Each structure stands twice: as structure tokens, then as C-alpha cells.
Structure 1
Amino acid sequence: MEHKIAILGASGYTGAELVRLIATHPKMRIVALSGDRKAGMAMAEVFPFLRHLDLPQLQKIEDIDFSRVDLAFCALPHATSQEVIARLPRDLKVVDLSADFRLRDPADYETWYGKPHAAPDLQAEAVYGLTEFYRAEIRSARLVAGTGCNAAAGQYAIRPLIEAGVIDLDDILIDLKAGVSGAGRSLKENLLHAELSEGTHPYSAGGKHRHLGEFDQEFSRAAGRPVRVQFTPHLTPMNRGILANVYVKGDPRAVHKALFDRYLTETFLEVLPFGALPSTRDIRGSNFVHVGVIGDRIPGRAMVVVALDNLCKGSSGQAMQNANLMLGLDEATGLMLAPLFP
């Protein structure tokens, strides 16, 4: 059976990544693409690297016939998805890549995003899309909320350690480096090549980054009590990739074993031998996650390092993994692409 797919917001980075992935998917076919500011244009004009594909023209969302769509990916800007999804047919399966449905509590959403949620009934319905931890719920979901890319990297390092009880929950530090594509495709002065290259800098530091809302929600839920972490992201002059250095208090060997045991049967997560550390160059363009653990010179402390591709496993690849589950397919279908190297 072939499943008909719509991508809303196909003219952005995550939309284009979805097209790239679905192009080789044996059970999905793209029947509609939206890009309101580029409506009427061919995808080949917007993204010449997709010129070889036979794709529908971009159109406005209101012009799409959703009666012929089985599942829609919503790759729209934050604070836009909630109103758009509220107008879609209620029987349509949706995977949202924005931040609009990640936080379960409407009060938390207002705290972190500065405005009331426009579709609280849908917010209550949404399933959090960290696939390896919500697989059963995602299979039966109608609406899945994709994780933040930074939030996914931090959770892959920490959630198994909380569940195994091998770290001090009050002593967790996440120091993260992120590629510039995570900031989206819109024109911003600080993202110009001359402003960004040959340097790196922290942003949203001091507890201001919105992904802290996801960390608070998910870590506290896993622990059964409030957990607050320190988190500082840095913008790095690379196109793709996230490297998260996570510092914890716990026995390094026990930390490594907890991660190895938890991810042993997971297709896309690989825990490296103790002492080996990952690199973003080894997962670029793929849905794979590499996890490494080393000890510190201070006894009883460990560093966990996670590398993933922010556009793939951090966003569009994970969205497709979730869509596969929602459509009754093997979750790895269309996602076994090897990383790009060099």
C-alpha cells in the first residue's frame, strides 16, 4: 500500500530534508507541497538539489485537497503550526516539526513561548515524538509533536541514566554545539557568513533557551520528581550537526553500561566502546546517533558525548521514523541512508 504524503512548509530546511528522505521511501509518495511565499514555484527552483525528482508544485495550504492525503508533515515556523493544524481534517494523521505541541501543560507553553496556546485541545492530544521512548504511544497517535533537535541530543544522553538511577539528578550540565541550519532558513544578520564563520558563541544562555522546557518536562517525568539541568548551547559554523557534551556525577563505567544496555536493540543509536568519543562528521546526513562515555580525572564524574544530525535525526528523520510507526510500517523504512563522508 502506498501512503500519500503532504509536506507543509516544504520551502524550509526541514521540509527539503523530508523531501530528500521520502524520495527513496518505498511506501510513501508526496502528493502536496506547501510554501506560501513561494506558491506556484517548482521545488527545483527553490532547491536545485531536488531537480531530479518529479514533485508537485508548491501551493498555499488552503489550496491543498487533504481528502487525498494520508499523513501530513507540518514543517512550519513555531507559533504557526497550532493554528494551521487546528484547521486540518480531524482524521488526518499529522507529524509536527515545530515547538507548538512539545509541552503538555499549556501554562508551560505560555511560560517558554510568551503567548497562550491557540489549540489547547490538540496540545492535550499530542504525543511527544522521541521515538525510542514513546514508540507505543506514537503507533496509535493522530498527532505527534517532534522534539527539539537540541532537546533530542540531551535526552539521548541523560534519560537512560535517570531510568537506571546511576547519576546525581541535581548535578547535570549540558554543553552543546549546534550547526547553523538549526536556526532555520530565514535571513538573519548574525547568520551571514562573514558574521558567523571563524568563530563560535553561546546563545540563549543562563536558563533562557526554550528547549529547557522540554528537558524540565521529560527529565522530571522520567525521574518522578523535579529535575533541572544546566544547559548552554553554542552556534558553530558548520551547516549540520549537534555535539552535546553532558557532564554528570556518577560512576563512568555504570553510566556507559546503562546507555549500552538501553540502546542495544535500537536501530539508530550506537554506544561506542568506553573511552571512544563521537564526531558530527560521522553521522552527517543520516538518522544515526553516536554516543560516547569517558571518565573524568575527578573520581565519580563522567562525560557523555552525543552526536546527531540536527536536520535528520534531530528533526525530519525522526519525524519520518514516527510517521512510519503511525502508518503501520517498519520505523526504519527509508531511513537507512549511510552518513555523508567526507
Structure 2
Amino acid sequence: MTRVAVVGGAGYIGGDLIRILLGHPEVELVAATSRTLAGRRVDGAHPNLRGLTDLTFVEPDRLGRCDVLFTAVPHRESMGQLGRFAALTDLLIDLSGDFRLRDPEVFAAYYGVEHTAPGELASFTPGLPELHRKELIGADRISVPGCMATAAVLALHPAAVEGLVTGEVTVDARTGSSGSGVSAGAENLHAERSGALRVFAPHGHRHEAEIAQATGLPTRMTATGVEAVRGVQVLCRVALADGADERALRAAYRRHYADEPFVRVVAHKRGQYRYPEPKLLSGSNFCDVGFAVDPAARHALLIGALDNLVKGGGGGAVQSMNVRMGWPERTGLGFPGLHP
């Protein structure tokens, strides 16, 4: 049995990681850390896990060696502790933003600080199996992309790689309140968030750089907080290249995603759920992608949706682990979501 541990287990992504790992048949969850909740039961912070585990949180400094270590810590923390984390495990899977970008100057521009381990950026493989499955097989360090970046990259990838779009892409991202984390400030109180559509990043969101890096397309992104708790939906507006049309887009999506276990193409002519809808994906590791074409304007809207804590977080990390360890990708990730 593969021994796994979670650093930062008290947060929302840490909680979903623990939930998924407890149901994974190939692993044993041996530890979860929290500075503030050390000594307290894990199911106290995550009451949905009552009856599933007797684990208590441990201090990060008391963490022992394991086979796989997931680090779900705040941005800017992983890069300062990389040496310690790497010494504890054979496979390190980081869910922070510290090792997602390859260029330290781009990192500094988007995160507002200099990277403290720039020489290690290239040592991490992106934790997005749909684009990096071969590299993940031999990876010892994996960096899981951001939730909105994952949705946008998967929505854009088939069109970008086949040259069906041209020019700058504009990404309009919407995200639920859980994306702000368990320690979010007063602006995320229910009284402030309920009923609000808050544009919290009119420009320069850090996921913008990830999308540009992964797709090769110049990208501009806005991000809006919506009333939902879970879920991300991205609307990517693109100009169609010469010769590209709806038929070419549909064929490209089918070619790239026909055999993907967690990407579904949702672009229907009729029905209540014609396009990707995050409500249907709650708790699941699916990312639904779709498109709508305006032939007169030579533009298209490429759409992606996912659960930010699962495919955009803990589920994406476990999927990457499955690929790395040679297990079926769906292992531990079979939950299909809910309706209604």
C-alpha cells in the first residue's frame, strides 16, 4: 500500500484531497498537517468525513517520510520549503502556485515577489494529464495548475494546437466562494457575498499567465466571484482563423478528448444543459468543455466548467498521481457529480 500525506489538510482543497484519498484503494493516508489544528481530529474540520477516519492533524514539523506528499499550502510557501518537502517523499505533488510558471520574471510580475528557487521551476511537471500524460509517467515533482487555468486551458487546447484560432484570447472566469479558501476575509462573509457578482480581478489574475504559457496564446483574463460555493466556469472569446468553422472546432474537440476519462464535450443544439455547467460537476473530477460559433463575426466562445476543489484541485492532483504510479486514471475518482 502506498503511504500518502497531506500538508495543509485543514483547508478546503486539503479537505477534498483527504476525502478522495480515504476512498482510494491503492493508498493509505498516514498524516495530514495543520499548524492551528494540530492534535484535533480531521473530521472536526471536515465533518463530511465523520466515521471515515480517526486521524488527527499533526504539526508540519512532525511529519514523517511517505511515498507521496501533497502540499496544499498558501502561495509563496512551497518554494521556501521545497528542500524539506522533497526530503520527505519520493513523489511531491504541489497544489500552490509556486511552481506552475516556468519563467521567474513572469512569476514575479504576477505574484508580486521574487521566486526564491528559480532554478527548480523546470523540475516540476504540470499536473494536467490531458496535456502532459507522458511526462507525468516519470515525474518526481508535479505542480497542479490553478482551477480557472485548468478550465480555460482544456477549453482552448484543441483549437489552439490545431491553429483554429488567432490573435488574443479574452477569458471571462466565474468562481464560487470556496476558491477564496477557508481563511478568506470579511469580503467573503455570507452577508457580503450573497447576491453579489464581484469582479475581484479586472485584469492581471495569476491564472492568466498559466493559460498563456499552456496554450501559446496571448491572454487577457477577468475573474468574478459568484454566489455559488463550488464551481468554475470560463468563457473564452476567440477570433477564428481562416478556414475554421463550427465543424472544424467540433472535429478538433472530438479528436483530442474522445479517449480522455475526465473531459466531456458539451455543445448541443437543444436542451436545458447545452453548454458546460459547473452545478452538474460538484464533487466530480470532470471538466466539461464546449463552444458556440458566430459565423458572421468569425468569432467563437469556448467554454469550460469544473469543480474548483476537485478537477481544479485535489482531484487533479490524485489523477496526476494515478498516472505517475501506473494506476487507472479513474481510481478513487469515480463520483459523477449531482443533479439536481
SS of residue matched to 1:58: coil
Q: In the alignment, what sits opposite 2:186?
A: 189
Q: In the alignment, what sits opposite 1:224?
A: none
Q: In the alignment, what sits opposite 1:20?
A: 19
Residue 231 (structure 2) aligned to one of 238, 241, 244: 241
Q: Which moved more, 1:5-14 or 1:259-268?
A: 259-268
Deviation of the 1:10 alpha carbon: 0.3
Q: Runs of 5+ in structure 2 lacking a partner?
A: none
1:304 and 2:294 equivalent? no
SS of residue matched to 2:164: coil
What are the equivalent positions in structure 2 for 1:69-108 lying under 5 Å apart? 69-90=66-87, 92-108=90-106
**Contact conserved, 1:96 with 1:144, CA < 8 A, in 2?**
yes
Q: In the alignment, what sits opposite 2:322?
A: 324
Deviation of the 1:156 alpha carbon: 0.7
Normalising by structure 1, report the TM-score.
Answer: 0.93
**Contact conserved, 2:292 with 2:302, CA < 8 A, in 1?**
yes
CA-to-aligned-CA distance 1:144-185 (integer Å, 9 cap, x gap): 0000101011101111111111111x1422111111111111
Q: Which amino acid aligns with 1:82?
A: M
1:209 and 2:208 equivalent? no
C-alpha distance in 2 between matches for 1:280 and 1:144: 26
1:232 and 2:231 equivalent? no
Q: Which amino acid aligns with 1:199?
A: A
C-alpha distance in 1 between matches for 2:295 and 2:85: 55
Deviation of the 1:84 alpha carbon: 2.3
Q: Runs of 5+ in structure 1 lacking a partner?
A: 221-226
Runs of 4+ in 1 over 3 A off after TM superposition: none
Residue 256 (structure 2) aligned to one of 237, 241, 262: 262
Q: Which amino acid aligns with 1:233?
A: A
Q: Which moved more, 1:70-79 or 1:245-254?
A: 245-254
RMSD (Å) for aligned C-alpha atoms: 1.5
What are the equivalent positions in structure 2 for 1:35-54 lying under 5 Å apart? 35-54=34-53
C-alpha distance in 2 between matches for 1:171 and 1:99: 24
**Contact conserved, 2:152 with 2:303, CA < 8 A, in 1?**
no
**Contact conserved, 1:81 with 1:100, CA < 8 A, in 2?**
yes
1:282 and 2:280 equivalent? yes
Q: In the alignment, what sits opposite 1:127?
A: 125
1:198 and 2:175 equivalent? no
Cα separation, partners in 2 of 1:273 and 1:112, compared to 1, 3 Å: closer
Q: Which amino acid aligns with 1:195?
A: E
C-alpha distance in 2 between matches for 1:234 and 1:187: 15
Normalising by structure 2, report the TM-score.
Answer: 0.93
C-alpha distance in 2 between matches for 1:71 and 1:240: 27
Residue 154 (structure 2) aligned to one of 147, 153, 156: 156
Deviation of the 1:83 alpha carbon: 2.0
Deviation of the 1:79 alpha carbon: 0.6
Q: Which amino acid aligns with 2:236?
A: V
**Contact conserved, 1:287 with 1:318, CA < 8 A, in 2?**
yes
Deviation of the 1:282 alpha carbon: 1.4
Deviation of the 1:120 alpha carbon: 2.5
SS of residue matched to 1:37: coil
Deviation of the 1:193 alpha carbon: 0.4
Residue 179 (structure 1) aligned to one of 176, 180, 183: 176
Q: Which amino acid aligns with 1:218?
A: A
C-alpha distance in 1 between matches for 2:306 and 2:285: 8
Q: Which amino acid aligns with 2:8?
A: G
**Contact conserved, 1:178 with 1:233, CA < 8 A, in 2?**
yes
SS of residue matched to 1:94: strand
Q: In the alignment, what sits opposite 1:223?
A: none
Residue 143 (structure 1) aligned to one of 138, 141, 158: 141
SS of residue matched to 2:135: helix
What are the equivalent positions in structure 2 for 1:110-121 lying under 5 Å apart? 110-121=108-119
Q: How many residues align?
A: 331
**Contact conserved, 2:159 with 2:165, CA < 8 A, in 1?**
yes
Deviation of the 1:297 alpha carbon: 6.4
